[in-house]
Chain A
């Protein structure tokens, strides 16, 4: 545990040692505000909830989380420090989890810094704070899902740009799996159970059900499993591509 802790602290401090962390947080907050007030008609709707704020999270994450995850392993491979890290008395799992947790905490921090909007909506009206809290948890979990996918992609390449683009593509598919666009396309030739399976991996479906305030165990399990599976895939990919 203390090893994971040491790794998390190093990763987090390295985010803040360069301007990357500050640039990311500022862009995250500006985008979140822009979406909520401009595209989400936060004021015009006249409703005391944060639906217009959370509705855009999947789309913000689509671009912003690959920007965080792209460096997780691609940079280690590029500089060769992966060879140093994985010859220290650290297991591959500890390394993968440590890096993932640091990035996830970082996303959590960015998300936390949106709290003024929560205060605003409470000032203006009387929202259901339980729903908002659930939405925050759901959003963070969804961020973790994106991040785990990005971690796996990042492990497969030494180029951060490649990792960024492929992560966006994969996350886009995961996002839209439940959308008519994808389902109409696949439902033609596939049996119903498979179409249902594809629909059920959609991020948006699970996120929306959490952000309605219904914290269903299945939705939590979905994101938990997704993170677990992709982190496991990360360890497999690192092991496979060590020699390159």
Chain B
């Protein structure tokens, strides 16, 4: 359990994180979203114990991050932004070094190194200096380091940044595989990732917590939620008819694409599909929108920026 109360971090006059409170329970994969400079990394650095909060409390598995810092660090695995490492070390020497600093006994360390090397496919680069590795391998070495001691809490700052689509997929399934009984906090600005791995999302902008919900609930805030999009050469004509449907609040046309937005709480898909058959429109595509996370993100963070 991570408990964050009234967390504030300021640098002189600049307030980077402003009075944020939330708790995370085991089994939750929390996605931290926000524009660059929103305070995501600062918050994660404070949870990991790198920066001290100006005000407020953080407790990780019952250990206060400031007063009981060493115990808190033992239960946390942390991947800092950019996955820094000691470049002149080989992968295996680096992992061994991290394990020794974590006080792991030699037998367990050996077993865990074998395990994480298998999980992250690092066997090929085990004896190579980290400086000579590709970006994807460097990132995976950083992840290996974070999960080496099998921590209860994982804090990953942009874990898939710089990976190719296959590697992204591997890292995501790795995170999902570990998610069952752990607390995982990841920051990202890739919104599809939130859907892929997170079961909860927090949006931060300007240092303030603006939204805290499941990815589905966030999507439901989109104006596209339950909207219906059709693609047809007769877009204008269809739009005219759809405007007459009682539950439709608004219709937008963009080229051959027509989007009908429902009135609050109404479902319009069934009515529209009946209309399509009735009028025998030639429609090449019909889609019920779940909601667009990027649009919700923009709306929330722009409002936050203005206030």
Contact = CB atoms under 8 A, between A and B. Distances in A.
Contact of B101 (A13, A89, A242): A89
A10 B94 CA distance: 9
Interface stretch (B28-36, B85-93, B179-187, B291-299): B85-93
Interface in B172-195: none
A181 interface: no
Interface string A68-98: 0000000000011101101111110000000
Contacts of B233: none
A221 interface: no
Nearest to A79: B84
A18 interface: yes
Interface stretch (B71-79, B115-123, B248-256): B71-79
A80 B129 contact: no
The range of chain B's interface size is 20 to 34
Given A87-B78, A89-B73, A18 B101 contact: no
Contacts of B86: 10, 14, 81
Interface residues of A, number: 22
Contacts, number: 63
Given A83-B50, A242-B51, A243-B11, A89 B84 contact: no
Contact of A87 (B73, B82, B89, B129): B73
Contacts of A34: none
B72 to A, nearest CB: 9
A17 B101 CA distance: 20
A104 B243 CA distance: 80
A89 B74 contact: yes
A17 B89 contact: yes
A14 B74 contact: no
B112 interface: no
Contact of B88 (A2, A17, A80, A83): A17
Given A88-B101, A89-B102, A79 B78 contact: no
B70 interface: yes
Contacts of A17: 88-89, 129
Contacts of B197: none
Contacts of A91: 70
Nearest to B11: A243
A6 B100 CA distance: 7
B202 to A, nearest CB: 21
A113 interface: no
Given A13-B89, A87-B50, A88-B73, 14 more contacts: A14-B88, A17-B129, A81-B86, A83-B45, A83-B84, A84-B84, A84-B85, A86-B49, A86-B50, A87-B76, A87-B78, A90-B101, A242-B50, A242-B51
8 contacts: A6-B100, A10-B86, A17-B88, A83-B84, A87-B73, A87-B78, A242-B50, A243-B51
Interface of B: 11, 45, 48-51, 70, 73-74, 76, 78, 80-82, 84-89, 93, 97-98, 100-103, 129, 145
